[in-house]
Chains A and B, each alone.
Chain A
């Protein structure tokens, strides 16, 4: 057992300051436990958002010693408590109060992405046949817990506040999940280019580094989407082919599509 000092940001949209709190640290404790203890002991009105305390809901995002983290999954024994531990809200979005951020923009953005549109059922009983490999391919993206830590670190949102033009890494993952969904038939490429601002991403990979679900956001979601956008809108061969054969959505799954793409090149 030991005592740790926390510097916790207290304030609201108008401004605020760091305040010091001391609390006892016990075995296996995570940052969220410490925050709750402080809340019960000496700061009853300290605002913090949380829910599952098991890394499953993505509510408790904050910056711990400057690092974007889920407070419920950050163990105190991974932090040096000889120095004060700073805890502050995520910064890409407006602060509501103390550690709570107004993330409502994210919920609005999601509505703008074209929704899931399945192909007609394969079987007579109205269901589909899907191979496990195709499920595995989108699993990674569907693990997202919407913690918005990736949005927090993306410089396009955090530093440049391009919230009108750019949907951010979380929603590029969402678009990728829909795009690679084994049953989906919707075409979102034009939106990605024109409305969702995929071009703003310059592949810094900051988002990938902070994702608590270890989703390889940049390599597995964003880059393949960028390639498809490029193929569609910037690749002269593809443009001619499309002019000839119409604006059909490329065949799925993406693996098959890559193959088809190669053979067109050979031709």
Chain B
């Protein structure tokens, strides 16, 4: 059998984005020995791309804000199917987590009275997003990274985990390979924290990087953990649409927060025409009110461009479908118009949105201070994920924890912008803390040797198949493209039964093809091989998304069905839970949404 190196830790953290780094820092601060594994180099995880900001009710800009309002906003955004306990803890603890980041060296933009500045974002009642220009994620990940490297955490960069290992019911460790040499590594651990992010790469048009193949979701599922809310996948309304090679790259919501407006080909601000009842009270009904809101007028209501992402994305799809789209199949997003309102607008835009200015200039040859951008929806964020306990972040497998985007429940049916970065900090910390105490309270476990041997055999198959394959070989890249087309076309923003049933069938066929994928070359830094292994995760996650979406016969948040365009009370009371059945097949069950306690319900009602 292939040899492998073995490492022993109290806590193994898989993923080095905001959640994984925060968890590692906490676990090591609690005295645990910590190993941190990530697929890329340190500091390159997805979190680095976040732009707009971190949501926390610091109430620096608007004194009326507090955790209660943040909690109510999060629940409204999530259409009241959130794990209320997570939404509560998140709203309460986010301000401390942001201040702590400052104590570790993060530099945020400031208010006139020298406090941390906060900006407006969709679905947040008050200006709430702490930020640094439009590169907040970079500031956050770098701060955590630079703080973390002095904590004695053992980092394994460019190492991919392909299997979680158990001892009976509980977690015992994980198994993976290093990209550089293609050699295997065994990690024995008393507790494991998954912080692997999302799965946008299951779609063709996405703002997500290659890392987003749903590894954590799929690892947890295979280990017997529950997944929840998998039908809820966020399509961000504004991704680049032109040129084709940059399609999907994100255009931050910050553009709209700073006064940017959406127009169709007829020059119309179409968002004014469709304001959902849930948001009527809080939304401006004329352009002037919307503008002064973005400029900090506390009496004004927010412009309809800042409605929740699911809604804005659907309005854009409608405009395009009805023939009022931009030349390349999007709509126009214009920030340059603010020159009518303020002096030095170009300079102001460059200062407030430097990365966006740069991104359009370099990739699309377009000056956003002069011309409107063309934008359209892009697959962005997974609300669904590993089901966890709100307080501890432990999954249904003892000793297995999850935090960040790969965990489910916190955001319900739709996430508000800025609520992810804060989620990473709040629950990254909690996961680290509780994983460390789990490790302290429980003895070491023993990994199952047979499972290790099986994993090695499985992992090497794509490479070994090349000798046997000859002309009938299947390229892993082609299978991935076909999956992306299937998900994009059939389980996208607007869904219906027939298409989703077709997707489920297609995914089953793709699974068979994936079993025949061939990776030419050797084991050293071989992306073809890595893609072949990632397929298992992408297919597992896609199956869960397609099957749960096909089951939920209503429209709610990010899950929109043209055959059931309304919300249903019956469905609103239930979550869909996915787990691996005894026969290895996917099981989906309907379980009641957690009941919100009276005192929290009161907060929700007050903020209706």
Please list the residues of chain A having a beta carbon within 8 angstroms of any beta carbon in chain B: 12, 26-30, 33, 39-40, 44-59, 73, 75, 96-98, 100, 102-104, 107, 110-111, 115-116, 118, 121, 126-132, 135, 138-139, 142-143, 145-146, 178, 181-184
Contact = CB atoms under 8 A, between A and B. Distances in A.
Contact of B146 (A49, A110, A183): A110
Nearest to A129: B114
B477 interface: yes
Given A50-B209, A51-B40, A96-B180, 8 more contacts: A12-B524, A44-B475, A45-B528, A48-B527, A49-B40, A56-B135, A73-B362, A127-B99
A131 B110 contact: yes
B265 interface: no
Contacts of B157: 104, 107
A111 B149 CA distance: 6
B210 interface: yes
Contacts of A102: 180
B572 interface: no
Contact of B109 (A45, A46, A116, A135): A135
Interface in B530-577: none
B199 to A, nearest CB: 16
Interface of A is mostly: loop
Contacts of B155: 107
A198 B211 CA distance: 37
Counting from the closest, the 3 A-B pairs by CB-CB distance are: A28-B243, A45-B521, A44-B528
13 contacts: A28-B244, A45-B521, A47-B524, A49-B40, A50-B209, A51-B211, A73-B362, A103-B41, A111-B149, A131-B110, A181-B105, A182-B107, A183-B105
B110 A115 contact: no
A82 B539 CA distance: 41
A56 B354 CA distance: 12
A142 B141 CA distance: 11
A46 B164 CA distance: 29
A75 B49 contact: no
A40 B525 contact: no
Interface in B1-58: 40-46, 48-49
Given A26-B244, A110-B149, A126-B99, A54 B525 contact: no
B40 A54 contact: no
B103 interface: yes
A181 B107 CA distance: 8
A171 to B, nearest CB: 12
Contacts of B522: 45
B209 A116 contact: no
B210 A28 contact: no
A48 B380 CA distance: 24
B49 A39 contact: no
Interface in B221-279: 242-246, 249-250
Contacts of B292: none
B608 interface: no
Contacts of A139: 107, 132-133
B271 to A, nearest CB: 26
B529 A45 contact: yes
A40 B113 CA distance: 54
A97 B527 CA distance: 11
Given A33-B245, A130-B114, A75 B40 contact: no
Contacts of B135: 56, 143
Nearest to B150: A115
A44 B521 contact: yes
A75 B363 contact: yes
B249 A54 contact: yes
Contact of B477 (A40, A47, A59): A40
A65 B43 CA distance: 28
B391 interface: no
Contacts of A56: 48-49, 135, 137-138, 355
B103 A118 contact: yes
Contacts of B43: 57, 146
A59 B146 CA distance: 18
Contacts of B45: 51
Given A45-B529, A145-B138, A129 B115 contact: yes
B142 interface: yes
Given A40-B477, A129-B114, A30 B48 contact: no
Nearest to A77: B365
B526 interface: yes
Contacts of B374: none
Interface centre among A111, A142, A181 (most CB of B within 10 A): A142
A217 to B, nearest CB: 17
Contact of B362 (A75, A132, A145, A183): A75
B529 A135 contact: no
Interface in B418-455: none
A144 to B, nearest CB: 8
Interface in B136-163: 137-139, 142, 146-147, 149-150, 155, 157
B44 A51 contact: yes
A225 B195 CA distance: 38
Contact of B520 (A45, A50, A53, A57): A45
Contacts of B528: 39, 44-45
B359 A96 contact: no
Contacts of A51: 40, 44-46, 48, 209-211
Contact of B138 (A40, A73, A107, A143): A143
Contacts of B44: 51-52, 57-59
A118 B103 CA distance: 7
B146 A53 contact: no
Contact of B525 (A33, A96, A183): A96
A138 B242 CA distance: 33
A58 B48 CA distance: 10
Contacts of B137: 56
Contact of A132 (B109, B139, B245, B250): B109
Contacts of B477: 39-40, 44
Contacts of B526: 44-45, 47
A33 B246 CA distance: 9
Contacts of A30: 245-246, 363
Given A44-B520, A132-B110, A27 B244 contact: yes
B108 A135 contact: yes
A28 B41 CA distance: 28
A54 B521 contact: no
B465 interface: no
A115 B146 contact: yes
A118 B132 contact: no
A75 to B, nearest CB: 7
A135 B110 CA distance: 8
Contacts of B358: 55
B359 A55 contact: yes
B180 A28 contact: no
B524 A97 contact: yes
Given A51-B210, A51-B211, A129-B114, A28 B102 contact: no
B519 interface: yes
A142 B107 contact: yes
A267 B363 CA distance: 54
Interface string B351-382: 00001001100111000000000000000000
Contact of A116 (B105, B138, B355): B105
B458 interface: no
A29 B364 CA distance: 10
B419 to A, nearest CB: 20
A115 B246 CA distance: 37
Contacts of B139: 142
A199 to B, nearest CB: 25
B355 A118 contact: no
B209 A52 contact: yes
A132 B110 CA distance: 5
